[in-house]
Structure 1
Amino acid sequence: MSMTVWALRRNVRRKSYSMLVRFTSGSASSGRDTIKPNEQCIEKVLVANRGEIACRIMRTAKRLGIQTVAVYSDADRDSLHVKSADEAVRIGPPPARLSYLSGAAIMEAAARTGAQAIHPGYGFLSESSDFAQLCEDSGLTFIGPPASAIRDMGDKSASKRIMGAAGVPLVPGYHGHEQDIDHMKSEAGKIGYPIIIKPTHGGGGKGMRIVQSERDFADSFLGAQREAAASFGVNTILLEKYITRPRHIEVQVFGDKHGNVLHLYERDCSVQRRHQKIIEEAPAPNISEKFRASLGQAAVSAARAVGYYNAGTVEFIVDTESDQFYFMEMNTRLQVEHPVTEMIVGQDLVEWQIRVANGEPLPISQAEVPLLGHAFEARIYAENVPKGFLPATGVLNHYRPVAVSSSVRVETGVEQGDTVSMHYDPMIAKLVVSGGNRGEALVKLKDCLSNFQVAGVPTNINFLQKLASHKEFAVGNVETHFIEHHKTDLFADESNPAAADLAYKAAKQSAALVAACVSAIEHSAWNESNHGKLPSIWHSHPPFRVHHEAKQTIELEWDNECEGTGSNLLSLGVVYQSDGSYLIHEGSDSPSLEVRVTRAGGNCDFRVEAAGLSMNVTIAAYLKDGYKHIHIWHGSEHHQFKQKVGIEFSGDEEGVQHRSSSETSSHPPGTVVAPMAGLVVKVLVENEAKVDQGQPVIVMEAMKMEHVVKAPSSGSIHDLKVKAGQQVSDGSALFRIKEPHIEEGHNQNKLLDVAPALISVHPSHKSVAVTVGSDLRVFNLIDNSPVTLVDESNESFHKDYVRAIRYSASGKLFVSTGDDKLVKIWSAESWRCLNTICSEKRVTAVAISHDDSYVCYADKFGVVWVVELGGITKKGVPLLSHYCSIITSLEFSPDGRYILSADRDFKIRVTVFPEEPLQGAHEIQSFCLGHTEFVTCIVFVSSPELTQSYLMSGSGDSTVRLWDIASGSLLDTCEVSTVAGHLESNESEQTQVTVTDLCAIPDSSLAAVAIQRQVYFLASHTLSITKVIQIPGESFIPTSISLSTSTLWMASGASNGPNQLGYSRIRAISCIESEKSSILEDEQIPGGTKLLEKLQGKVSIEESVMIAASEAVRTAMSSLLMKKQYSEEKREFRKRSRNDKKTTN
């Protein structure tokens, strides 16, 4: 060879970019370049890693004539990196701590194979100074920096001190050795919230927590310690000021053993989820050359300060508001995103690493470093985007990356048929593209993403496409909160009806193509001449069974779960015509589409002609969970459909073994399932233990990320099926929750076995309804007379606790529901019961559509049911499910387009209310970044100042919050408080109280909030408090409030049982007095004395009764708050965590 690769790099400026094709994935030269012989020449290297980085290192090593050794765990026995190596050695079972993190096992493998050097890749042992020192002591070359530099930079606290001494800018923070939680909390207070908690060792976002206030510090601190210990073996923590709108920009540095250090420009890694990068680019957009030079110089200074050599990355956080940058950390290894730097400088950084490890000097100087255009890297993960990017596992049933070229790289460690394991990082591949400028590279990125095909596991490809197509990303306006700030665009197309309609039409077109292709495949599959040449999935029984029939119906469910928007069922008629084409139609009245299908090579590829267009189509299918999943790719479109199979086949057609899919997928009511496949790290409760909603029950770990499974509702734990150290699959049952007040055979009075009084006032102030226990009283406010209710089907109003009452917006209807599983619809004019709906479970919330056409109610398992009014329907139809979370409130939006629900999982969910609600609905958005305790109540607000409707919510976290429904944005927060001693309690630390109820006047700016014995009046569009009223009297604690045009109505009271002692009192407060709002005593209410008599029924107001009733109110309020019990459990959990930490240490 006339010129070595090393010399070629020296002349890269004089060579065309096409000469660097050898560095692209899969395009290595068939020949092998050689390293100049010297005393330190490496002939065999062991790669102490797995997956794509192991394959990447081996590719360069082989090109340089170096033999390669792979190491593998039992889970990776047949993996691509093992197949790519010259030799491979098993080092242990699947858990990383027993294999890839076992330095002893790796050193033994090196000794057995005669490897002279070890390349650690990234992750695992790459930043272990002990391992680097072990290599050096054993006479092996560690292809990386010196152990001393790893040690100094690996301890983030020490690195901050070193960088400060070197004059590198630092973020204000605490990097000391004292780790006591009280001391750390004190330091956090000095820094000022918000702060960010980071482990002092490791990276990848693991263990990082953003803390907004002191209230959340303890839980975040302990969680960060646990995750850091699990991931890095060290649980020490540092604190830093959290910059609210930062950019994450890092600089690639390189040094040799001769004292030379340079930088290879910067990378922008700001677009992140879960503190982990998903799109990186180089160079960073929208920075000046002066700023770029300052970053590079600071990075070189940082490397020199620790005597650094080999590859490293200096990470900076850039404050976008001040354009100041601060040192964040130094990664003493090759980064995941190193290929984007390789693309813009035309260098092979792994080759640089090997040559520097051999003792050679850097090939070029700083002035000779080229800048060749722009590059992007997109990380393709197996993960469930709508579930908060939880990692996913499964088989890659179909895997077809894009073709590589001089400007397109695919770094991957998997092949079709491989399994994405729960033991390691879920990254499938890195897609790297380059162009002459940023715009050109971005076009290429979007095109490659649309043609990157993966089926079998959920991926983030669709999400990456949305990111790359976002208008702000297109112009380089990025920062680390980019995803959160643009979540409406990235997650919820259905908030834009036009976009939702467009997506649905595109899916229907794809469904027609699927129906035609499936029919064509099955014709071939049942033809003996083709049998055996097609995947066995097409050799199955119905529903996709044609035989020789001319017609069939194919039902496809558009599986739009990757967008988090649910599913849509499509029924398509297929007619096989004599000319071999297929006629596809949806319904008898819809126009038909003629489709002609021909095979185009492999089993998955077709050429399809339809509507005058000819296109290439790829179809992939697999069986899973009782469904046949079918993916289609054509042009830039990718859609997934599924069809209920109902029978799972094993064996041949004769004597087939089958079982209903429902037998394997159903769980008893109240069952909590694993949100992902993973390892059970801790079980925090015992079977039959009492838990509160939101209380941690199980700690899981997957892909080194910790996830806490919490109780979705209060109750007792039953059927606890797992223990620490056990592996669980996604969706497997963990435990079951039984609510205490619905347990069979339960006759004792318990904390939750009370019903607070409820009140609702007619929109036009015609009447007011009050209930306590199972009794309802209605009072006519026009003529000051009680109202007689007429229910021809039942003797009593309700037979058990009433949990919800409300008038419709029109004032024509009234609805009531409760523990007797009945939903009663009343005429608010004649007060005759118009209909009674029977629910299978206890009902917790109810709402009436604004046109009085539908009633929705929620049962105790979080299922929302819908009933069409005007008929004699006796049972609801399920609308959607919230997965066992108890719904505390339901509301229709004023325009009727959405129904919102408040849950005990701290979330507010938005659901499109469909034109045909009896066909089901789909959730489009969850507001989960606001409240930190369960949401108790929600109400829509609007005023002349607001151009659209907004939502107000109250919670157990002492706050009222205002939301923009369309975007899910949190607009404002009002932290309400109350006087000390609002409940009988011995807790001195009690600081949080629950918003009991809130209400607002439609088309007004007035809202009211009840919290213990205080009522706050708010401006609903700003949440500014206009006045606060203290309710006198120990016995009157408002349990429900309702606003009319000028009066706030309050009810106070409770019942200990449907037919037990109970009482209710009401009060009214003027909302319009200019200075002070007067508190009207009960007898001052028009007709108040008569109303009280009716409400009290046969109970006379004697002192003993008042005392008992007051205690019932307190008990009712305690059941709503669950404050004391919750605090005790929380403290006990923290105590156990501290004990676990001490035991570990």
Structure 2
Amino acid sequence: MLNKVLVANRAEIAVRVMRTCRELGIGSVAVHSEPDAGSLHVREADEAVLLPGVTAVETYLAIDRIIAAARDTGADAIHPGYGFLAENAGFARAVVEAGLTFIGPPPDAIEIMGEKTAARRVAGKADVPQVPGSSGAVESADDVEVFGKEHGYPLAIKASYGGGGRGMRVVQGPEEVADAFAAARREAEAAFGRGDVYLERYIQNARHVEVQVFADRHGNVVWLGDRDCSVQRRHQKLVEEAPAPGLSAGLRAAMGEASVRLARAVDYVGAGTVEFLVEADSERFYFLEMNTRIQVEHPVTELTLGIDLVAEQLRVAAGEPLSFAGSGPAPRGHAIEVRVNAEDVAGGAFRPSPGPVRTLSVPQRTGVRFDAGYQVGDEVLPYYDSLIGKLIIWAPSRDHAIDRALQTIGQVIIEGVPTTLPAAAVVLDHADFRAVRIGTRWLENDINLVDLLPPVSPAVSEVEAEDDGYEDDRQEVWVAGRRYLIPLPALVGAEPQPDSDVSVADGNRRARTTSGGKRDAVRRKAVGSGTVTSPMQGTVVKVNIVPGQKVSEGEVILVLEAMKMENPVRAAIDGTIASVLAQQGQSVPAGTALAEITPADA
């Protein structure tokens, strides 16, 4: 068995790996950035090493620094978790060349399956069904248009060296190609260090189903069941469950056997996940990608099979054979995972919302597990992913699991940052979800979160929301295709005053000043005034405007990146750009003035 493992990650997955190491009597080492010095994963580790810097590039993506930390602490293995360097073949090679054990598949397997076009070629040779796609990376928007003419729209532009929805854009028609191509490349570069993208025909009304595979160094390769991950927003999963409901035994077996063939084709070792698109009301499935790491949603498989997948990773990395035999073990009951992200879901916007965690209370009851990356007093930082933790529910049946999950969500209290829990409750309580009438675009296209979610936001209220009597203190801004009213910069993030009332709803704090409240900011009519302010803390990654330029209402004028997600900011009025107050690369707090627009009728 291994003696000491350095975990090259942070937050929830780092904590998860370290706790399993402790159970197995293995020492653990944390690496951390400067802002993460007091974080939970650092407190959980037996040892911790500072990686000087703030950004992921300076710290959690710094291969040489991480390997040096492993050597300095005497670690004999490195676990990459998920995200960051988990699917970086160069990192895996560097670990092996340093004489350390990489807890994951061989570098060659990571490289082949991580380069999506190469993975498609391997899938073809392994007789795994797949959707039409480009033969390699595409170099220009013109290449995208040529593909669109041949295969039709919608199509998907996807990062060649990534996954998890980063660097992915769905293009509905040729008029969207140029902007989508540029955005996909930019986001892929930021998330994975490579801007290469490829194309696939986008299948609508499909379910996202994935198969868990595991392999050891003794020739054993098995599949361990499936998960449904169809409930997504911005191609990021919100709710996952196992087993995937409503599939025939034949379809499950076919996907599992295809996954094993794919793993064998690249001499795979360790935990991996093969993702498929399953066409609605059919037995047809198509290869999407293979994730050469432990998945965020692995706990639902653990709870239905009684297997600790992280412990299995550690044993296999140490050279031991798999602790289970044969593919397709029968699941016991049903499990649902709800991702709890620090995002404001008011109006369906899912705005990244970093901040301090003031209260965190999860009910302790049978069938409830919470894998957390934060505790009370910790701060969700704007530099990294927004995942606070994962709420995992098990019950004997799917309906029971849904009911138990809804009851549990209703009793979770998280204060200090808004979370995605209210949106998860809407999903689980919806008749379509119970009836498995879902697909990858179901949440975004068929569910009106504007009407189903209350506008509980400390800084932003949806324009259609109930009038609170303070229009004079708000400005208009467009984010992700929706219009919002936000307080003037001086008020954003302000603590409630003594004459304010505060209520907690669905784990989110809402502060509203009463009619008699005093405000320090200068009152002025702001709605439609042309002042464009930042709706969130983030980094300006693109500026589309210059002074004197004419813009139309709804036009994207800037793009903000916050917590690894891009958020377009749109003009709220027709007019002319009077001034541009933000620069590309600038980090801005919520409420920062970004631009001034002179109204067209001024």
Q: Does residue 309 of structure 2 align to residue 410 of structure 1?
A: no
How far is 1:336 from its partner? 0.2
Distance 1:139 1:220, change over 3 A: same
C-alpha distance in structure 2 between counterparts of 1:357 and 1:313, whole Å: 17
Secondary structure of the residue aligned to 1:197 is strand
- 1:682 maps to 542
Are 1:446 and 2:410 an aligned pair?
Answer: no
Q: Which residue of 1 aligns with 2:495?
A: 624
Instruction: Note closer, same or farther for the CA distance 1:629–1:677 as it changes in structure 2 (3 Å cut).
Output: farther
1:642 aligns with 2:511: yes
State the SS of the aligned residue for 1:315. strand
Aligned-partner residue type, residue 513 of structure 2: K
1:695 and 1:491, CA in 2 relative to 1: closer, same or farther beyond 3 A? Answer: closer
> Are the counterparts in 2 of residues 423 and 703 from structure 1 also a CA contact under 8 Å?
yes
Amino acid at match of 1:713: I
Once residues 214 and 688 of structure 1 are traced to their aligned partners in structure 2, the CA distance between those partners, rounded to angstroms, is 28
In structure 2, the residue matched to 1:162 is 122
- Cα 1:223/1:568, change in 2 over 3 Å: closer
Name the CA distance, whole Å, in 2 between partners of 1:130 and 1:724. Answer: 30
Assess if the C-alpha contact under 8 Å between 1:316 and 1:326 holds in 2.
yes
Match of 2:54 in 1: 94
Residue of 701, 719, 739 corresponding to 2:599: 739
Tell me, yes or no, if structure 1 residue 245 matches structure 2 residue 205: yes
Contact 1:667 1:733 in 2 (8 A): no
The 2-side partners of 1:63 and 1:127 are apart by 26
**1:455/1:631 contact within 8 Å kept:** no
1:643-670: CA deviations, max 9, x gaps? Answer: 427999xxxxxxxxxx944259996932
Higher-Rg member (1/2): 1
Q: 1:564 to 1:418 in 2, by over 3 A?
A: farther
In the alignment, structure 1 residue 710 sits paired with structure 2 residue 570:
yes
- Among 93, 98, 102, the residue aligned to 1:142: 102
Identical residues among aligned pairs (%): 43
Among 11, 14, 25, which residue is 1:65 paired with?
25
Q: Distance in 1 between matches of 2:574 and 2:468?
A: 35
Tell me the residue number matched to 1:257: 217
2:457 and 2:141 mapped to 1: Cα distance? 50
Q: Relative contact order (C-alpha < 8 Å, sep 6+): which is higher? A: 2
Q: TM-score, normalised by structure 1?
A: 0.48
What are the within-5 Å matches in structure 2 for residues 916-935 of structure 1? none
Instruction: Quote how far apart the aligned CAs of 1:47 are.
Output: 0.5
SS at 1:228 equivalent: helix
The match for 1:210 is: 170
Determine whether 1:724 maps to 2:584. yes
Equivalence map 1:895-906=2 (5 Å): none
Are the structure 2 counterparts of residues 426 and 361 from structure 1 closer, same or farther at C-alpha, using a change threshold of 3 Å? Answer: same
Q: Which consecutive unaligned segments of at least 5 residues does structure 2 have?
A: 470-492
- Distance in 2 (CA, whole Å) between partners of 1:472 and 1:178 is 37
Which stretches in structure 1 are left out of the alignment for 5+ residues? Answer: 1-40, 495-502, 505-556, 571-621, 649-658, 743-1145
Residues 458 and 562 in structure 1, CA contact (< 8 A), matched pair in contact too: no
Q: Deviation string for 1:398-425 (max 9, x for gaps)?
A: 22122265x2110111112222211111
Aligned to 1:398: 359
Report deviation, 1:367. 5.4
Matches within 5 A, 1:988-1007: none
Which residue of 2 is the match for residue 701 of structure 1? 561
Aligned to 1:352, the other structure's residue is in SS state: helix
Instruction: Describe the shift of the 1:391–1:92 C-alpha distance in structure 2 as closer, same or farther (beyond 3 A).
Output: same
Q: CA deviation at 1:188?
A: 2.2
Q: Which moved more, 1:417-426 or 1:637-646?
A: 637-646
In 2: Cα distance, 1:146 partner to 1:208 partner: 26
Deviations 1:822-864 (A, max 9, x none): xxxxxxxxxxxxxxxxxxxxxxxxxxxxxxxxxxxxxxxxxxx
Change over 3 Å in CA distance of 1:335–1:179 after alignment to 2: same
Pick one of 457, 460, 471 that aligns with 2:431: 471
| Residue-by-residue CA offset, 1:415-452 (whole Å, 9 max, x unaligned) | 12222211111111100011111122112111111111
Kindly tell me: are residues 691 and 442 of structure 1, through their superposed partners in 2, closer, same or farther at Cα, counting changes over 3 Å?
closer
Aligned partner letter, 2:451: A
Check conservation: 1:46, 1:115, Cα contact below 8 A: yes
Structure 1 position 562, deviation (Å): 8.0
**Alpha-carbon displacement from aligned partner over 1:160-193 (angstroms, at most 9, x marks no partner):** 0110011000111213245233233212211111
- Residues 492 and 565 of structure 1 are in contact (CA less than 8 Å); yes or no, is this contact kept in structure 2? no
Q: Does 1:566 align with 2:465?
A: yes
Give distance in 2, aligned partners of 1:48 and 1:355. Answer: 18
Q: Which residue of 263, 279, 290 maps to 1:319?
A: 279
TM normalised by structure 2 equals 0.90
Query: CA 1:561–1:439 in structure 2 vs 1: closer, same or farther (change >3 Å)?
Result: farther
Q: How many angstroms apart in 1 are the aligned matches of 2:360 and 2:328?
A: 40
Of 417, 424, 436, the residue aligned with 2:396 is 436
Q: Equivalences for 1:907-1056 in 2 at 5 Å? A: none
Residues 734 and 482 of structure 1: CA distance in aligned 2, closer, same or farther (over 3 Å): same
1:848 corresponds to: none
Q: What is the CA–CA distance in structure 2 between the aligned matches of 1:695 and 1:561, rounded to whole Å?
A: 20
2:192 to 226, 232, 251: 232
2:580 counterpart SS class: coil
User: Residue 246 of structure 2: which of 269, 286, 309 is its match?
Assistant: 286
Q: Secondary structure at the match of 2:299?
A: helix
**One-letter amino acid of the counterpart of residue 721, structure 1:** L
Deviation at 1:322, TM superposition (A): 3.4
**How many residues of Structure 1 are paired with residues of Structure 2 in the alignment?**
576
Change in CA separation of 1:141 and 1:226 when aligned onto 2, cut-off 3 Å:
same
Distance 1:705 1:229 in 2: 13
Q: 1:360 to 1:559 in 2, by over 3 A?
A: closer
Offset of residue 391 of structure 1: 1.3
Equivalent-residue separation in structure 2 for 1:709 and 1:625 (angstroms) = 27
**Is 2:521 aligned against 1:662?**
yes
CA distance in structure 1 between the aligned counterparts of 2:160 and 2:516, rounded to whole angstroms? 52
Q: Assess if the C-alpha contact under 8 Å between 2:304 and 2:335 holds in 1.
A: yes
Give secondary structure in 1 for the equivalent of 2:143: helix
Structure 2 residue matching 1:422: 3-state secondary structure:
coil
2:349 maps to what in 1? Answer: 388
What is the DSSP-based 3-state SS (H/G/I as helix, E as strand, rest coil) of the residue aligned with 2:51?
Answer: strand
Residue by residue over 1:175-234, the C-alpha shift from the partner in whole angstroms, topping out at 9 and shown as x without a partner, is 324523323321221111121111111112112111122222222112211111111111
- How far 1:243 sits from its partner (Å)? 1.2
CA distance in 2, matches of 1:389, 1:320: 27
Aligned residue identity for 2:591:
G
SS at match of 1:92: coil
Report the alpha carbon displacement of residue 561 of structure 1 after superposing the two structures with TM: 7.1
Of 233, 246, 270, 1:273 maps to 233
Cα-to-partner distance string for 1:780-834 (whole Å, 9 max, x where unaligned): xxxxxxxxxxxxxxxxxxxxxxxxxxxxxxxxxxxxxxxxxxxxxxxxxxxxxxx
| 3-state SS of paired residue (2:253) | helix
**Compared CA separation, residues 260 and 642, structure 1 to 2 (3 A):** same
2:120 is aligned with what amino acid?
A: K
